[in-house]
């Protein structure tokens, strides 16, 4: 569900799309470090920058004004900090509240046998070109993490789009890019049993 926790943007050094680390930078291949809780002032600022970028990128007016590329999520390493923090916001197209997660030290603890893939492939703020091919991932995952909004450890059971986005962002924390998971020999071939999202 959506979290209405406001962040103070007055003193926040706001991220531009140009400041996102691109995939030719070796930092994206680093394994991110565990983060101490509660967040230090520096790490709190990083989390707030991520929240601000994604929320703003999903607002058509603000995204246009700030020239932001829309995003479902972002991880700290994508703004130059290889730390295990990520922020995800999935808008719901059926009138329900958005799903929103600001996670510290997230870890996937279980996953479904059922698999899924975005029918149009995955994209990434750190990748400027479209890379065709299916990225097949578990349809459902269970994630444990510290939730920045509630300030407690949470267990998230996610399915479909939310599960895929969580996996994409948690991959960043292990130095894995989405295109690493595309079948190099048959990028556009997909088993009919795999759910297309």
Rounded Cα distance, 52 and 46, in Å:
10
**Domain spanning 17-196: CATH 3.40.190.10:** no
* Statement: residue 160 has pLDDT above 80: yes
- Strand partners of residue 144: 107, 155
> Span 15-30, mean pLDDT?
97
Indicate which residues carry an active-site annotation. Answer: 169
pLDDT, tens digit, 9 for 90 and up, residues 50-98: 999 999 999 999 999 999 999 999 999 999 999 999 999 998 776 678 8
Rounded Cα distance, 116 and 99, in Å:
19
Where are the chain's structural domains?
Answer: 17-196
Residue bearing tokens 């994209």 = 123
Rounded Cα distance, 50 and 55, in Å:
9
Query: Tokens for 81?
Result: 């900090």
Q: How far is CA 165 from CA 26, 62, 85, in A?
A: 22, 23, 14
Query: Tokens for 18?
Result: 């140009």
Nearest C-alpha neighbor of 104 from the set 28, 6, 33, 35: 35
Residue bearing tokens 């789009």 = 161
Q: Please give the model's pTM, rounded to 2 decimal places.
A: 0.94
> Span 38-54, mean pLDDT?
97
Rounded Cα distance, 182 and 191, in Å:
13
Residue 142 φ then ψ, to 5°:
-115, 125
pLDDT, tens digit, 9 for 90 and up, residues 91-135: 877 667 889 999 999 999 999 999 999 999 999 999 999 999 999
């Amino acid at each position: 569900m959506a979290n209405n926790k406001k962040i103070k943007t007055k003193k926040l050094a706001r991220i531009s799309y140009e400041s996102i680390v691109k995939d030719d930078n070796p930092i994206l291949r680093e394994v991110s470090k565990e983060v101490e809780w509660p967040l230090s002032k520096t790490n709190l600022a990083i989390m707030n920058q991520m929240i601000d970028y994604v929320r703003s990128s999903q607002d058509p007016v603000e995204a246009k004004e700030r020239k932001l590329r829309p995003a479902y999520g972002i991880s700290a390493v994508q703004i130059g900090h290889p730390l295990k923090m990520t922020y995800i916001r999935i808008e719901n197209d059926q009138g329900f509240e958005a799903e929103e997660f600001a996670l510290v030290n997230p870890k996937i603890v279980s996953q479904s046998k059922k698999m899924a893939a975005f029918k149009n492939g995955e994209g990434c703020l750190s990748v400027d070109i479209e890379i065709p091919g299916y990225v097949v991932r578990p349809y459902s995952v269970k994630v444990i993490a510290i939730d920045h909004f509630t300030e407690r450890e949470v267990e998230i059971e996610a399915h479909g789009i939310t599960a895929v986005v969580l996996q994409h962002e948690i991959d960043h924390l292990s130095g894995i890019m989405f295109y690493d998971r595309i079948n190099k020999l048959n990028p556009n071939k997909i088993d009919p049993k795999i759910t297309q999202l």
